[in-house]
């Protein structure tokens, strides 16, 4: 079985090999175990990029393969981040609080400890009560479960409602945008209990690993991200290959026809929507400890649109295309917006890339759509694949039957 | 021979235009039935209704041994119940290979988990071979089906229909785009399928219908104008007026 999987997905093998080499290379050049050429902050950028690649391949499966242009998948990514962030904040604050309370002459009661943690965490929003959302925050296993289950459940309910009513195309995209907008507004409220626009912070400090340097912890997260990306890639390569892949691509191309073959299209869409949401949650849970902070702006509607842009630029309908798109665009983005790109002085006007990067991205997106409809990944076709045939057959011999007019698909 | 499909008193209106008007048809199992009629008579719309694509305004459609109404069923449920269809314009998945198209149609469990976890059923490769031999596309199994000619796409869709192994086959203009030899082969194939199943064929080519050698239903303006053997209906004055004499 393994052999046939590889045989059916030669690109998966190439991808995994490239990822392994990249991981080894970065490790060798890292500060904590290697030559120290890659700074810890850049190591974090690389680790985060791997997480973005993971959510991008999820997006590619849902959009590029199944044809559902979800503009809400970053919400699932953010939920994953919040879920792990809650444990990180709780456990770390607990550590600090317990240490500081030890100096008290009397041992403190559990209630006092909890109150002190609550004041520490929720002081910024003028509260000290633990909101209901934090019920499991002291338990790492439960919050880890939440990383996959909450996005999965949300996707399941949302998808069930949307697909069952046969909402498709641009209407579905708008609906997913509404979902992520609603969620981000909800998270923004102080009452929600997720610290409003402050978000969760200090996530780079991992409880229990206080004596490890950030250089080491970052490398571990980089490894974890690489491993998650590898597993995600294998999972999705399996999903989109074989007959299941055949069915979802058929749904993308002509879902009505698939129904007449006896497939419940809605179930397939729901499956794909949900499983990609769960993977997006995992990606987010690995991303935000490396970023150190998460706030509701992260799941603003624009974030999910960027995700679609990455996949489009990289080339949808091929997993490595999504990886290329996410890597190229997010690294370029941090280069341009980080102020490293040299400004261009036109004499009368200075192009500052921090302001103009979005314009550049927009223009590149339009150019890619126009001239490279298969994205950057499409360039690989010239190497390996025969060009796709798109032959429109004629309509048969007898002209009298109005076939052209009546023969529209569906 | 028992009744498999019973359509009674069905009407459909598109924006005030009555495409199907109080139509009643019964198909037995096994049976081969040809449906003819002028353009716009409602032949394709009849198939749309039976496959769940178009919901009728009124009327009753029951299918199968227990006489279940198909009106409340979705397209995919109807297909799973055993009604398969070939479209007037061949609609195959052009971006996929002939093999993938047939494999998708093969009668196997249809749920997402079944499909995801299915190790290839032992007989599926054999079945694909049999079907591709039947439709003459064995050499093209690994071609993208978008590269096929119109006639070959017709064949592929017929092959997909056979792969589904339905109890009722609705075949809309199968012979369009085929050479005379292929038409003959199609006739043979449909006749053979009709030995164990119900097959409804819509076709304009009278020669083709004659070779099918079966009961013929003539549709006109959405209802049945005449029914019986080909010779019987071709002598009917109404049929001559609206269809044959044009
Ligand atoms: N979705 C629709 N909306 C509006 N009118 C429709 C629709 N579908 C069919 N019609 C009309 O209903 C009538 C019957 O169409 P139908 O396609 O069933 O004819 P047909 O018998 O299959 O003709 P042909 O032999 O040309 O294929 C036609 O006048 C057609 O224009
Ligand atoms: Mg028709």
- Ligand 1: residue whose CA is nearest its atom 12: B19
Residues β-bridged to residue B209: none
| Residues in Cβ contact with B33 at an 8 Å cutoff, skipping those fewer than 6 apart | B27, B198, B199, B200, B201, B214, B215, B216, B217
State the pLDDT at residue A387: 52
Indicate whether B124 belongs to any domain: no
A262: nearest CA partner in chain B: B76
- Separation of alpha carbons A274 and A263, rounded Å: 18
Q: Which residues of chain B have pLDDT under 50?
A: none
Residue boundaries of the structural domains of chain A:
5-325
Q: Which residues line ligand 1 (CB under 6 A)?
A: A 401-402, 406; B 14, 19, 37, 39-45, 88
DSSP for chain B? -EEEEEEEEEEEEETTEEEEEEEEEEEEESEEEEEE-STTSSHHHHHHHHTTSS--SEEEEEETTTTEESTTS-HHHHHHHTEEEE-SS----TTSBHHHHHHHHSSS--SHHHHHHPPPPTTHHHHHHHHHHHTT-GGGTTSBGGGS-HHHHHHHHHHHHHHH--SEEEEESTTTT--HHHHHHHHHHHHHHTTTSEEEEE-S-HHHHHHH-SEEEEEETTEEEEEE-HHHHHT-HHHIIIIIT-
Taking an 8 Å cut-off on Cβ atoms, the answer to whether B160 and A396 are in contact is no
Domain count, chain B: 1
Strands (E), A333-402: 344-345, 350-351
As for the ipTM of the complex, it is 0.93
Indicate whether B229 belongs to any domain: yes
Q: Which of A66-70, A158-162, A192-196, A224-228 has the weakest average pLDDT?
A: A192-196
State the pLDDT at residue A100: 87
State the pLDDT at residue A69: 95
Indicate whether B145 belongs to any domain: no
pLDDT band of residue A211 (cuts 50, 70, 90) is: confident
The conformation of residue A314, written as its DSSP 8-state character, comes to H
- Ligand 1: residue whose CA is nearest its atom 7: B14
State the pLDDT at residue B123: 76
What size, in residues, is chain B? 246
* Per-residue pLDDT reduced to its tens digit, B145-182: 988 888 889 899 999 999 999 999 999 999 887 888 88
State the pLDDT at residue B50: 96
Average pLDDT (A341-357) is 83
Host domain of residue B30: 2-94+166-244
Which CATH number is B197's domain given?
3.40.50.300
The end-to-end CA distance of chain B, in Å, is 36
Over 90: is that where the pLDDT of A105 sits? no
- Separation of alpha carbons A400 and A397, rounded Å: 9
Indicate whether B134 belongs to any domain: no
* Per-residue pLDDT reduced to its tens digit, A115-152: 899 999 998 888 888 888 999 999 999 999 999 999 99
Q: Which of B7, B20, B44 to mutate to test the pocket of ligand 1 (most atoms within 8 A of CB)?
A: B44
* Per-residue pLDDT reduced to its tens digit, A254-303: 999 999 999 999 999 999 999 999 999 999 999 999 999 999 999 999 99
Over 70: is that where the pLDDT of A334 sits? yes
| pLDDT, chain A, mean | 88
Indicate whether B18 belongs to any domain: yes
Indicate whether B176 belongs to any domain: yes
Indicate whether B178 belongs to any domain: yes
């Amino acid at each position: 079985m393994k052999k046939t999987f590889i045989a059916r997905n030669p690109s998966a093998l190439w991808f995994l090999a490239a990822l392994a080499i990249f991981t080894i290379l970065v490790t060798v050049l890292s500060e904590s175990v290697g030559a120290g050429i890659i700074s810890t902050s850049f190591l974090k950028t690389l680790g985060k990029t791997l997480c973005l690649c993971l959510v991008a391949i999820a997006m590619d499966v849902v959009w590029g393969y199944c044809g559902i242009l979800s503009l809400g998948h970053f919400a699932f990514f953010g939920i994953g981040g919040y879920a792990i962030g809650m444990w990180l904040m709780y456990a770390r604050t607990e550590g600090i609080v317990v240490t500081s309370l030890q100096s008290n002459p009397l041992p403190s009661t559990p209630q006092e400890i909890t109150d002190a943690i609550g004041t520490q965490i929720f002081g910024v929003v003028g509260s000290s009560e633990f909101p209901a959302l934090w019920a499991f925050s002291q338990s790492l296993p439960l919050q880890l479960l939440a990383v996959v289950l909450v996005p999965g459940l949300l996707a399941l309910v949302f998808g069930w409602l949307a697909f069952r009513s046969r909402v498709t195309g641009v209407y579905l995209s708008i609906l997913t945008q509404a979902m992520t907008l609603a969620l981000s507004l909800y998270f923004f409220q102080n009452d929600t209990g997720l610290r409003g626009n402050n978000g969760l912070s200090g996530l780079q400090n991992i409880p229990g690993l206080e004596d490890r340097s950030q250089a080491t912890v970052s490398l571990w997260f980089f490894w974890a991200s690489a491993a998650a990306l590898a597993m995600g890639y294998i999972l999705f390569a399996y999903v989109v290959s074989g007959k299941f892949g055949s069915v979802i691509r058929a749904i993308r191309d002509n879902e009505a026809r698939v129904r007449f073959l006896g497939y419940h299209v809605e179930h397939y869409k729901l499956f794909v929507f949900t499983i990609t949401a769960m993977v997006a949650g995992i990606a987010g849970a690995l991303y935000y400890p490396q970023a150190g902070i998460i706030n509701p702006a992260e799941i603003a509607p624009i974030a999910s649109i960027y995700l679609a842009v990455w996949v489009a630029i990289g080339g949808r309908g091929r997993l490595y295309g999504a990886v290329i798109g996410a890597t190229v665009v997010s690294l370029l983005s941090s280069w341009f917006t980080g102020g490293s790109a040299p400004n261009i002085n036109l004499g009368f006007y200075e192009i500052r890339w921090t302001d103009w990067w979005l314009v550049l991205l927009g223009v590149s997106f339009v150019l890619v759509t126009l001239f490279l409809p298969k994205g950057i990944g499409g360039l690989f076709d010239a190497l390996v694949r025969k060009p796709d045939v798109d032959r429109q057959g004629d309509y048969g011999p007898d002209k009298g039957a109005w076939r052209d007019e009546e023969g529209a698909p569906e | 021979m028992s009744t498999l499909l019973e359509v009674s008193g069905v009407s459909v209106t598109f924006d005030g235009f009555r495409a199907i008007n109080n139509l009643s048809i019964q198909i037995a199992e096994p049976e081969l039935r040809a449906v003819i009629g002028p353009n716009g008579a409602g032949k394709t719309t009849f198939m749309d209704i039976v496959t769940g694509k178009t919901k009728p305004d009124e009327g009753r459609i029951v299918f199968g041994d227990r006489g279940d109404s198909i009106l409340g069923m979705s397209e995919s449920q109807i297909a799973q119940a055993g009604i398969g269809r070939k479209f007037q314009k061949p609609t195959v998945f052009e971006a996929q290979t002939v093999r993938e198209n047939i494999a998708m149609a093969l009668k196997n469990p249809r749920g997402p988990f079944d499909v995801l976890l299915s190790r290839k059923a032992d007989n599926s490769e054999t079945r694909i071979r049999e079907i591709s031999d039947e439709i003459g596309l064995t050499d093209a199994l690994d071609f993208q089906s978008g590269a096929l000619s119109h006639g070959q796409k017709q064949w592929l869709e017929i092959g997909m229909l056979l792969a589904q192994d339905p109890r009722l086959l609705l075949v809309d203009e199968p012979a369009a785009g085929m050479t005379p030899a292929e038409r003959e082969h199609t006739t043979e194939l449909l006749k053979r399928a009709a030995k164990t199943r119900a097959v409804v064929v819509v076709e304009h080519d009278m020669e083709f219908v004659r070779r099918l050698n079966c009961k013929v239903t003539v549709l006109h303006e959405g209802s049945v104008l005449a029914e019986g053997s080909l010779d019987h209906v071709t002598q009917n004055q109404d049929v001559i007026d609206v269809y044959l004499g044009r």
